[in-house]
Structure 1
Amino acid sequence: MRAIVIEEQGGPEVMRLGDVADPEPGPGEVLIDIEARGVNFIDIYQRSGAYSMPTPFTPGVEAAGTVAATGADVIGFSPGARVAWVLRPGGYAERAVVPADRVVPVPDGVTTEQAAATLLQGMTAHYLTHSTYAVQPGDTVLVHAAAGGTGLLLVQLAKARGARVVGTASTEAKQRLAREAGADEIVDYTSTEVAPAVRELTGGEGVAAVYDGVGADTFEASLASLRPRGVLALFGQASGAVAPIDPQRLNSAGSVFLTRPTLAHYAASHEELLERSTDVFGLVAADRLSVRVGGRYPLAEAGRAHEDLAARRTTGKLLLA
């Protein structure tokens, strides 16, 4: 089969497509014929070395397709069933073997492409708005990169829970997409200081929560945008890692909370993974959560997909098909 293999971590050029041996499922594993693969910032972190990975490896922690075969002791999956998975590498390939406890069924009403475009970012938006800071009716929240893949889903889920959503976006096209997703206010961070604008929009109070997947470039504005006892959920570092901070700054900012969450800890068990995926896929099937695919790339052009995502040239979700 064909697969992307990374022999050593580095730039996009280290991803090389070649022929590898077909995998075989062992006990408790599922062999999946992959039809669509999600491209995520975690793929970039793992490829670049920002997150250490044993090499060689095939990147891609989110994909969808059909079950080709199962190993011993696998219950609930049979050949031909449509499935998706997250949080295990191997997606940038034609086939992958995945532990059964990381695999979820794709229901009727959700296409395989939608599943690959939704699972990781949809569950991220779900845990952020339902668990990390559970949005309450009447809250005002700030969503950075509101036209990105996760950002568009965050806007929709926060609105569904009754929030007033302030989003940040740069170009007019991105601002339009964020508004179409439900954002009530947009701050153009390229021409306007975010924190003062947020303070003005909230009558000086600040927001209940900031959902920040950008990191270094936005952290200071995020901290300065919070109301007293607000929550800064720093769930990514698209612009680079945030430097260590003095905890006293959380006091002076209003006894605020800072957390660095990750989906792995909010879908740690198979039961929680199923609960979140069922909720997210149910919203997609009911047309209550819109998934925007912003770009489709052949597997051989995974490097270009990484470059486009890192440069923020895209909106919505990127797929390798």
Structure 2
Amino acid sequence: MSPQTIRKVVIPEFGDESKVQVVSAEISDPEPNHVQVKTIYAGFTGADVNMRKGHYPMQKKAPLTPGYCLIGTVTQNGQGATKFLPDDLVASLTVYDADAELVNLPEKYLIRVPKGLDLQQATALILDWNTAYAMVKNSAKVKKDQRVFIHGVSGAVGYATAALCRLQGAQVYGTASTRNHELLREHGITPFVYTDKKWMESMNELGGADAVFDALGFESWDESYKILNCTGTLVAFGGNSDSLKGEAPRSQILPTVKLLARNLVPNAKTTKFYYITKDDKDFVTNLQELFRLLGDGMIKVPVRSVTDLDDIQEAHRSWGKVPGIGSMLVRVSKDAA
């Protein structure tokens, strides 16, 4: 086949939202062992925002096409790719390139999506909920009746973590914007305001947390460690505090070293840092289990906003400001509901 013309998002240089463009470009046939996928929905996260600013760890140089994950349909296979047929529904953690009508991806990184799932909810499972699942089940091993504290509990990963902890029978507390507190209480979560620090006193009065999940980083990791009970686990999974305040990000190297060095202190507390990759040994099995939970009605994935590809600048402008709880998506295919 000859190259096809598609529309995709391009960040030609780093900067504010105006740097994000939708352009026409050509895509060639897939290389050997690759599959061409027509994107239906792409996830939209803080990673996209930080890539646009040029602040994401070890990211590509501009120009680049963002989009960390997608669900779409197979259009054609490259030589040696035989696992999927045209029109098969697949998911992938792409890291880049999901904000495009067509994308060529290695076959080994595609996961079949069961029929009948809500595709918006399923898209949010790939990155947001899969990150949460690994932290809850593998890193912290949350159990029934434990006390869990989550920073940013109304966000995409934060809410997913809360929902999965509650599924385990844990009591969930966390910090969030006051505009979301009533909604969080309806979901069985006890919310606090981060800035007044009353959450620290309250958690310690309860006896401390069995697990704390903290994506803010830096000083927040020190504070989170202080609310652990004597055998608690702190799971760090980002350093978003600077981005949320609109400030240039600081290096996470020394804070991460300090975080993990706490394990050298002779006590039963534990600190961990989690970063999801598509090569994780449990990535596929965890996602398949999440697909099963969604299909069985065991989880419901809130989606706070869906932005069309043409409005991608608005997604960047509104990140961190959209009320409600849950994930944000980009609708790439014009045929998507």
TM-score by length of 2: 0.85
Q: Count matched residues.
A: 313
8 Å CA contact 2:117, 2:295 repeated in 1: yes
Amino acid aligned to 1:178? L
Alpha-carbon separation, structure 2, partners of 1:76 and 1:251: 46
8 Å CA contact 2:10, 2:65 repeated in 1: yes
Q: What's 1:144 paired with? A: 151
Q: RMSD of the TM alignment (CA)?
A: 2.3
8 Å CA contact 2:155, 2:327 repeated in 1: yes
Alpha-carbon separation, structure 1, partners of 2:104 and 2:166: 37
Structure 1 SS opposite 2:291: helix
Structure 2 SS opposite 1:136: coil
Deviates more, 1:295-304 or 1:246-255: 246-255
Amino acid aligned to 1:179? R
Using the TM superposition, give the Cα deviation of residue 257 of structure 1 relative to its aligned residue in structure 2, in angstroms: 2.6
Q: What's 1:296 paired with? A: 306
Structure 2 gaps, min length 5: 1-5, 243-249, 332-337
Distance 1:256 1:87, change over 3 A: farther
Q: What's 1:35 paired with? A: 40
Using the TM superposition, give the Cα deviation of residue 217 of structure 1 relative to its aligned residue in structure 2, in angstroms: 6.3
Structure 1 SS opposite 2:173: strand
Q: What's 1:181 paired with? A: 187
Query: What do the CA deviations read for 1:231-270 (whole angstroms, capped 9, x no partner)?
Result: 2111122223557344676677955332221111xx525x
8 Å CA contact 1:168, 1:186 repeated in 2: yes
Alpha-carbon separation, structure 2, partners of 1:179 and 1:119: 26
Alpha-carbon separation, structure 1, partners of 2:266 and 2:49: 32
Using the TM superposition, give the Cα deviation of residue 90 of structure 1 relative to its aligned residue in structure 2, in angstroms: 0.5
TM-score by length of 1: 0.89
Alpha-carbon separation, structure 1, partners of 2:313 and 2:139: 32
Amino acid aligned to 1:41? G
Alpha-carbon separation, structure 2, partners of 1:317 and 1:32: 22
8 Å CA contact 1:224, 1:253 repeated in 2: no
Alpha-carbon separation, structure 1, partners of 2:214 and 2:322: 15
Structure 1 gaps, min length 5: none
Query: What do the CA deviations read for 1:20-44 (whole angstroms, capped 9, x no partner)?
Result: 1024211111111111111011222
Structure 1 SS opposite 2:254: coil
Query: What do the CA deviations read for 1:66-100 (whole angstroms, capped 9, x no partner)?
Result: 11111122232110011111143101111111111
8 Å CA contact 1:233, 1:260 repeated in 2: yes
Using the TM superposition, give the Cα deviation of residue 138 of structure 1 relative to its aligned residue in structure 2, in angstroms: 2.4
Q: Percent identity?
A: 26
Match of 2:7 among 2, 7, 27: 2
